[in-house]
Amino acid sequence: MDATSAIRSLPGSNTPDLFLTNPTKDELEVVYRMSFAEWGDSLTLSQYLEESDYLTEVPLARNGGMVSWILTDKNQPPKQRPTLGSCETFRKRAFVTNTEGVLSEKVVYGIASVFVNPTHRRHGYGTRLMHELAKAIPKWHVGSLHSTASILYSDIGRGFYSKLGWPAFPVNNHIELDATPSATQAYACQIQAEDLPQLCQVDEAMARENMATSPAGKTRMMIVPDIDHMMWHISKEEFACQRIFGKVPQAKGAIAGHRGSRVWAIWVHRYYGHPDSSPKENTLYILRFVVENQTPTAAQFKIQIQSMKAILHATQAEAAKWNLQCVKLWHPTPLIRELVDQSGLNYRLVEREEDSIASLKWFQKPGGEPDDVEWVASEKYAWV
């Protein structure tokens, strides 16, 4: 059967016979094999298959935190039914402040790895997959907490998912610095793996307090920057680095300053291609950037500038050490932007138009349209 005949034999995207279900192990391997060309990055096919299985058991994914889905024909048995589309959903904790300024903890589901076989594209299966998710996710709950929202990061621009009910946020920018092997970093200390749980606890407590004291009048949502999010990214990083270099990075970030006035960055090494070919896309991402003192005096601000400079120098040196091309810090706050400006370092502010576009579908309407919701801290840690 040729490709055209195979497409004609598939069910139409609007038929009621299509549904979302969990794939069998064999079906999931088919999905992984099909998606390897787009998402295999620096890995071989066998390594990519191994990584895909491995990432189902790491923090954030384990215990049902991550679930795989396929769009298929409900009238056919697993060994015969077609895989028309696939994706993953991740259960996330979120802080939400309503229009009265009242804080609560909610459940938000991230949608990731949306994929349609290239030979099946432009037949409406991706749209149908998202329609089925839009119907299903509001019914999911953890205990008494029902899903409040769904998020995703679009790599196909703003239009497709916006039309399906996941409007893109207007600003999707990041600060970008070149890797610099000679960057000095004496003032900053490395963050080790054992430091992460305590730092994430401090960060979460500050985030909760900041959200709780938000001014009334607008609904605000923040994905909790917990240790599970950091460890998902770090687990993926370590898997790739072990296979590329035979070792993993020991530094998980950098920190400077005294307790109560500290500045720190948690980072991750990402290889979109093998470093031997020096692809420009290989990046040191700052997963989360934290400034403890959000209301510094003039004297404290000067110290924060030095801390910022030391942290960014450390990121540039780490990127160069691991043969990465650049450093990226997503969604910098006004305070972080000011500190970077005052640091005197050369950087670029990049507005993303096609990739990693933060998009949100709000299920519990805050009294207006989804545009009325402010997504706080759309940083790289939330991308998963």
pLDDT digits (tens, 9 = 90+) for 213-253: 988 888 999 999 999 999 999 999 999 999 999 999 999 99
What whole-number distance in Å separates Cα of residue 247 and Cα of residue 235? 13
The full 3-state SS of the chain, as one line of letters, equals: CCHHHHHHCCCCCCCCCEEEECCCHHHHHHHHHHHHHHHCCCCCHHHHHHHHHHCCCCCCCCCCCEEEEEEEECCCCCCCCCCCEEEEEEEEEEEEECCCCCEEEEEEEEEEEEECCHHHCCCCHHHHHHHHHHHHHHHCEECCEEEEEEEEEECCCCHHHHHCCCCECCCCEEEEEECCCCCCCCCCEEECHHHHHHHHHHHHHHHHHHHHCCCCCCEEEEECCCHHHHHHHHHHHHHHHHHHHCCCCCCCEEEECCCCCCEEEEEEEECCCCHHHCCCCCEEEEEEEEECCCCCCHHHHHHHHHHHHHHHHHHHHHHHHCCCCEEEEECCCHHHHHHHHHHCCCCEEEECCCCCEEEEEECCCCCCCHHHEEEECCCHHHCC
Q: Is pLDDT larger for residue 286 or for residue 144?
A: 286
Phi-psi group of 344: left, alpha or beta (phi > 0 → left; psi -120 to 50 → alpha; rest → beta): left
> How confident is the model at residue 367, as a pLDDT?
45
Looking at residue 259, what is its pLDDT?
Answer: 92
Model confidence at 4: pLDDT above 80: no
For residue 245, what pLDDT is reported? 96
- Across the chain, what does the average pLDDT equal? 93
Between CA 311 and CA 264 the distance in angstroms is 7
Q: What is the pLDDT of residue 1?
A: 47
Please state the rounded mean pLDDT for residues 13-24: 96
State the average pLDDT over residues 1-22: 79
User: Residue 187's pLDDT is what?
Assistant: 86
**pLDDT tens for residues 291-339?**
999 999 999 999 999 999 999 999 999 999 999 999 999 999 999 999 9
The residue with greater pLDDT, 96 or 184, is: 96
Question: Where does the pLDDT of residue 368 fall: very low under 50, low under 70, confident under 90, or very high at 90 and above?
Answer: very low
Closest CA to 368 of 176, 137, 35, 98: 98
- Inform me whether the pLDDT recorded for 357 exceeds 60: yes
Single pTM value for the model:
0.94
Would you place residue 141 in the very low, low, confident or very high pLDDT band (cuts 50, 70, 90)?
A: confident
Encoding tokens for residue 312?
Answer: 């960014």
pLDDT-wise least confident of 111-115, 142-146, 153-157: 142-146
